[in-house]
Amino acid sequence: MSESETRTAASAADALFDRYTLPKVALAVILTASLVGTWVTTTLNGHASAALAATKWAYFVALGVLTGGLVWKHAFVRPADLDTGSADYCAEMYARFDRIATGALAVLAVGGAVVLAGFRASLGPTPAVYAFVASLVALLPLAAVATRHDGSVEAQFRSPTGLASLALALAVVVATAGAEVAVRSGDPVAVGVRVMHLLAFAAWIGGAVWNIFVAVPAGKRRPTLAVVRAAGEQLERFRWTVRLVIPTLLLTGLYQAVDALGTTVGTYLGSVVGLAVLAKVAAIGLLFVIFLLCPMWRACSPVEGVCDLDDLGWSDPKTERPADSGRPDGSSEVPGDD
């Protein structure tokens, strides 16, 4: 194959496998799988209403985006990243997330009211319902205050308001799982499994939304080596989380399916609910495949080169400039990014 043909083929491959396509596909897959899962649990709880399932799904998505995003803001994006000269990049990410969090809180308030009505109708005035109400009512105003914080990135990172919002978001996840399981049985093991499932979902969807709608647009506005390095360090922390998230989603999902429908194959193949459960398991398997392919195609980086910092050739971890940047003037702009 000639050099020109090779370049043409490479250009076509780049166009086909855009490095931001796979994360968007992963987000679509997990949103679809979560909608199916919400419909299944709603149906098994005796409320076969598409409108109710859609509202509860919106509630779960908003809670996941908020909780997972707060984990990013206070765990994966750290003050040490600012040593690379990427303070403006981090500040823009915080601002973008705060806008998304504001929308998530609005959905959470409306969806939470619907979810609460369902819990009260099924359980009455029980401790599980009181715990859900208390945690949600405490979260909404505090998280709203946190999104209005205009201080520096250093001041916002792990601020008392931010950490309290994260703690309350986690409490709402736990309370939601407890009330959901109480509708059917109240088994402590089932509650624990449901908590782990919802937390894994929050970590995944929160990270996906952060990368696609926060880190990617902010990074593309500042395609410098400092930003590449900061984004790469954040992404690497998230990758370790994903290694736990995918098996947790799969195992807890299987447990919940067996707990509700048993192990008879005919139950799954002979009912709409059973087929929906199998579809959700298949979706989680697809997420695993996407995760494996993502670094291969550079599909998970907010800016060019983020998927593997070693590709940038840093000779010293403290150095902002690669050992050989190819730029005689020593500038830090990433080659090839406009």
Sorted by where each starts, the structural domains of the chain and their CATH numbers stand as: 20-312 (1.20.1630)
Q: What is the tens place of the pLDDT at every residue in 40-72? A: 888 877 776 788 889 999 999 999 999 999 998
* Per-residue model confidence (pLDDT) at position 212: 83
Where residue 298 falls among pLDDT bands split at 50, 70, 90? very low
Determine how many CB atoms are found less than 10 A away from the CB of residue 96: 17
Give the burial string for 3-32 (b: 16+ CB within 10 Å, else e): eeeeeeeeeeeeeeeebbebbebbbebbbe
Predicted local confidence at residue 102, as pLDDT: 95
Lowest pLDDT segment from 28-37, 48-57, 232-241, 290-299: 290-299
Pairwise CA distance, residues 288 & 107, whole Å: 29
Which pLDDT score, from 0 to 100, does residue 177 have? 92
pLDDT on residue 126: 92
pLDDT at 184: 80
Question: What does the pLDDT read at residue 12?
Answer: 39
Q: What is the pLDDT of residue 4?
A: 58
The reply to whether the predicted model has a pTM over 0.85 is no
Element (H, E) at 172: helix 160-184
What pLDDT shows up at residue 48?
Answer: 67
Per-residue pLDDT tens over the stretch 103-145? 999 999 999 999 999 899 888 899 999 999 999 999 999 999 9
Q: Could you give the CA distance from residue 267 to residue 121 in angstroms, rounded to a whole number?
A: 29
Report the distance separating Cα 315 and Cα 178, nearest Å. Answer: 50
Tell me how far apart the alpha carbons of residues 65 and 101 are, in angstroms, rounded to a whole number.
8
pLDDT of res. 13: 38
**End-to-end C-alpha distance for the chain, whole angstroms:** 30
User: For residues 30 and 11, which has the higher predicted lDDT (pLDDT)?
Assistant: 30
Query: If we measure between CA atoms, which residue out of 41, 168, 37 comes closest to residue 105?
Result: 168
The encoded tokens of residue 155 equal: 């001041």
Greater pLDDT, 57 or 86: 57
* 204: confidence class by pLDDT, cuts 50, 70, 90: confident
Q: Return the exposure string of 45-57: e unless at least 16 CB atoms fall within 10 Å of the residue's CB, then b.
A: beeeeeebbbbbb
- Lowest mean pLDDT of 132-141, 193-202, 232-241, 288-297, name the range: 288-297
